[in-house]
Chain A
Amino acid sequence: MKFSHEILETNAGILLIGTMIAISIGGLVEITPLFLIKDTVEDVPGVRPYTPLESRGRDIFVREGCYTCHSQMIRPFRDEQLRYGHYSLAAESKYDHPFQWGSKRTGPDLARVGGKYSNEWHVQHLNQPTSVVPESVMPNYPWLAKTPLDYSDVADRLRALRTVGVPYSASEAEYQANVKQFGAEVANTLRIDKAQENLVAQAQAGNYDGDRSFVSEADALIAYLQVLGTMVDFSKVKPEDLVKYR
């Protein structure tokens, strides 16, 4: 049988398969090389997966839709570097599933907000942004500090992240591998069997929302915000080395 346009145009099924093949070629050509090319993810020390508390804070960030107004991606432009700090590295979001790069900046970029403000400031700001930044258009989130954090399923959440490649440890061997890669202190926070215990301990020690009587959603969210962009020590990274990862 001779191939002709008419076959495609008059058979919906064949048209569908043909369309899918055509689109996949485009996709494969663009995506496959990124898996092969060696210099996409920078080799920098310090990046670690989130602790259970930070990870739950990240869930709340996503739940509240913070990404609709805040990006977490400092682009390599001079104006952005001056305002927000060092440009974001691919390595810094390698444990983010899904990443929170975002594309809309109604508010400022948050990729390096960690350590910039105090916990107290974050509590005031989340509760009522205009109390500290009078010109802010960000909505109030007064329920965060009042709502107890549901962390009953935190181990399951870490297990889910583990299946997509985040090195939370489910066995002694994985724990030992983490000790080697991240050091004992961090490796301990990545243990799935101790997830709840670690979460509560960090919230107690950090006292992020200034109220130790219960672990609130604000505790988790602030713990997450305070770690953003702080893992890589840029005084130990040469700028020209990062240039070569592109």
Chain B
Amino acid sequence: MAENAQTQGPQTTGHVWDETLQEFNNPLPNWWIWGFYATIVFAITYWLIYPSWPIGKSFLPGVFGKIEYTNSEGQTETWHWNTRAKLLKETEEAAALQKPYFDKLASLPYDKISKDPELSSFVVSAGKPLFADNCAACHQSGGGGKIGSYPNLTDDNWIYGGTYDKIQETITKGRHGYMPPFAEALDPAQIEELANYVLSLSGEKADPAKAALGNQLFHSHTAACFYCHGNDAKGRQDIGSANLTDKVWLWANVPGASDQAGKVAEVEKVITGGLNRGVMPTWEGRLKPEQIKLLTVYVHELGGGK
């Protein structure tokens, strides 16, 4: 082999290292050369279709790959191929396919929507990914919520109201429940009495004597709980003050407490510290009105719509 290489002198590059080490200069195989030419042809075709070479302050936009879309004035516009134009066109095409459904959704009053089987199945299939992308992080995948933080949307218990209009208002504008802390206004004994009263309201076990004192406090101007929770303690949906007479708890984790002292402590914690954590974000601007209407129906149908 080494012998052979030396006799083929003219086919080396002529460089010699370490006395005998030479570099061959064989022609490239034909398949490789043609492959190379093919890439050149491909590149030129590509330049003709897609934006490519810069020219001064502009660039060669490509001649064949034009994209047609409708602008916000409703006129048809054409622009050279780019991903944004392509997206705009695809979005318009998809919107056109969904338009009959969304038009129907927009025109029908809420109570008719759930009675229309075709529209109902559209709401479920389009609402599911919307809910998963935007709501599930808080209200959990099935809408079951999380005690201590996020309300359950599948039951018929509503803080702000379970009618279509109220749910739409909640999603559009967001909500922020506020209850002041009573750590300074009331002493620990009073807070304990109130906690017992609150527990007694929903049929939980409570110390009767303390609950009776709590009842007075609740309706007095010292604690003034009735301002927000109402005389009947059923809460006011306009300010989202909880109904204290049912067995549904959101902030005080009474069902999770292991013993009576734990239940009292959970309610005391809410009264002492107040509540300012209930923030439901605003979706106006992030979601389109028709998406909000769709989600409203979706949430309403999750279980407990009124």
Contact = CB atoms under 8 A, between A and B. Distances in A.
A binds B: yes
Interface of A: 5-6, 9, 32-33, 36-38, 75-78, 81-83, 85, 87, 115-121, 124-125, 132-134, 210, 233, 235, 238-240, 242-246
B77 A240 contact: yes
A145 to B, nearest CB: 14
Contact of A81 (B77, B82, B91): B91
24 contacts: A6-B15, A32-B54, A36-B57, A76-B87, A82-B129, A82-B133, A83-B129, A83-B133, A85-B286, A115-B282, A115-B286, A117-B138, A118-B138, A120-B149, A121-B279, A124-B149, A125-B137, A132-B137, A132-B149, A233-B285, A239-B72, A242-B84, A243-B84, A244-B79
A26 B84 CA distance: 27
A4 B114 CA distance: 83
Nearest to A6: B15
Contacts of B57: 36-38
Given A76-B83, A242-B84, A243-B79, A120 B72 contact: no
Nearest to A38: B57
A243 B138 contact: no
B84 A116 contact: no
B85 A243 contact: yes
Q: Is the interface of B mostly helix, strand, loop or mixed?
A: mixed
B72 A240 contact: yes
Contacts of B72: 238-240
A234 to B, nearest CB: 8
Contact of A240 (B13, B58, B71, B140): B71
B181 interface: no
Given A120-B277, A132-B137, A238 B87 contact: no
Nearest to B53: A33
A243 B82 contact: yes
Interface string B54-98: 101111000000000101100001010011111110110010000
Contacts of A9: 15
Contacts of A244: 79
Contacts, number: 93
Contact of B88 (A83, A121, A243): A243
A197 B140 CA distance: 39
B134 interface: yes
A119 B285 contact: no
A83 B58 CA distance: 33
B306 interface: no
Contacts of B303: none
B87 A36 contact: no
Contacts of B286: 85, 115-116
Contacts of B282: 115
A6 B285 CA distance: 67
Given A120-B277, A121-B138, A238-B72, A87 B87 contact: yes
Contact of A118 (B51, B58, B87, B281): B281
B123 to A, nearest CB: 17
